[in-house]
Structure 1
């Protein structure tokens, strides 16, 4: 049984999501804004967060950024905005998935299952590998730990999985589709910038100058590689 935190200021939406999650066998916690969500995380161990964007006191974007300072819990963001820039903003702040309102509850449940499945697969797969050191970058898959220049770096589960894939094969170039299919465990067949956004997030966290990366390099027209 997984514990899922649903954060939305609309009680009707929380109630609907709660019922569907409970019917799938999950335990559900609820919060009405970002402040309450952060308080819930201190009191409970949570496996996944469903986080609305537009909320009082602390909105979902700020809450996501605060959560990512301490936790690597999968986050699915909900938003009434459909634009690409809104999606990119959500992913840039650390969300693992993004779904627009109004949504089909069964689609949301499918996204929840996918995130939980990926998290379990990530833990199982990473637990079988040791530590990777590339210059000042250290990736410890067993401990789900990353440090750069002696400082620990907090990554989301998807960011960690992408970094671990690249670091495990330094010098090898992976296309965006190959990264997506390996990490998301789904066929690519998409036209958004999901992989690019996560690579950008990794560079912001790892590189001294993200515009001139020393570690995660772009091979134009091909994909990405870890420079050793």
Structure 2
């Protein structure tokens, strides 16, 4: 039993590291796009001035439409007050939108968190990835992820809800049955381990085609 536990801890550690590297790469790619757009800002202004000077309003309008579409892909839509949370949320929102998944997010964190950035990265990243994978099984018009993050007294509250193809998922022990294989199981186990270590609270509920995970993490 002890040997099995050590092997599980090792596999979880490897999975966690791979997950963090993936999330940081997503965040880095998003900010590379932002830096690139800012770098080209002056060129965009000069081009629009040239169209305006020749009164080529049709070309100017078309150019503005192209810029608007390009900027939408890199726009930082969430500002929680916590830089790491902003980074991971915005990178995942961008990923979800690229897969035609609607995301409604309300996140406000007005205080400095005691939870580590790595723990937040693992929790938010896993929750978002699971929600995206579940949403992809649905028709595009039914794909929706709702996110809420905020402080409840001295605790950080995190809530993720997404629609699923199943009306009610089957529960095995404290977890709902995964159809994604070992990696998904490690993700759930990692979230539970973090919540337990921080003496927090986690609740998962599947009802009427929607799956919700709620987490409370003490911040004292």
Common fold: TM-score over 0.5:
no
Q: Which has the higher helix share?
A: 2
Structure of higher CA gyration radius: 2
TM-score (norm 2): 0.30
